[in-house]
Copies of this chain bind each other. A is one copy, B any other.
Amino acid sequence: MTDKPCRASEKQYLYSPGPTDVPPYVLQALGSPITHHRSPVFSEYLAEVWDDLKYVYQTKQDVYMILSSATGAMEASVSNLLSPGDEAIVIRGGKFGERWGDICTAYGVKAICIDVEWGQVASPEQLAETLKANPKVKAVYSTLSETSTGVCFDIEGYAKVVRDTSAVLVCDATSGIGATPLLTDEWGVDVVVSAGHKALMIPPGLAFISVSDKAWKLAESSTCPKYYLNLKAYKKNYEKQTTPYTPAVNLVMGVRESLKAFRAEGYDRVMKRHQILGKAGRAAAAALGLEVFPKRPFDGLTALKVPEGIDGGAVTKKFRVDYGMTIAGGQDHLKGKIFRISHMGYSDKMDVPFAMSVTEMVLKELGYSLELGKGVAAAQQVILDEWKTLGA
Contact = CB atoms under 8 A, between A and B. Distances in A.
Contacts of A20: 34
A228 B222 CA distance: 19
Main secondary structure of the interface of A (DSSP, over half): loop
A1 B32 CA distance: 9
Given A32-B27, A35-B1, A39-B320, A226 B19 contact: no
Given A27-B33, A67-B69, A197 B75 contact: no
Interface string A237-266: 000000001111111000000000000000
A289 to B, nearest CB: 28
A37 B19 CA distance: 8
Q: How many copies does the complex hold?
A: 2
Contacts of A36: 2, 14, 16, 19, 326
Interface string A338-366: 00000000000000000000000000000
A4 interface: yes
A203 B42 CA distance: 14
Interface stretch (A52-60, A102-110, A157-165, A299-307): A102-110
A68 interface: yes
B30 A30 contact: yes
A229 interface: yes
Given A106-B227, A227-B75, A251-B248, A204 B39 contact: no
Contact of A245 (B2, B3, B69, B108): B69
Q: In the complex, which range does the number of interface residues on chain A fall in?
A: 35 or more
A150 interface: no
Nearest to A14: B34
Nearest to A30: B30
A284 to B, nearest CB: 23
Interface string A1-35: 11110000000101010111110000110111111
A264 to B, nearest CB: 21
A61 interface: no
A41 B245 contact: no
B71 A227 contact: yes
A228 B31 contact: no
A120 B179 CA distance: 54
26 contacts: A1-B32, A2-B35, A2-B36, A12-B33, A14-B36, A19-B34, A19-B36, A19-B37, A30-B30, A30-B250, A37-B204, A67-B204, A67-B205, A70-B245, A72-B72, A84-B225, A102-B227, A103-B227, A107-B227, A195-B246, A203-B251, A204-B248, A205-B251, A225-B225, A250-B250, A250-B251
Given A2-B41, A71-B245, 4 more contacts: A14-B33, A19-B34, A27-B31, A71-B227
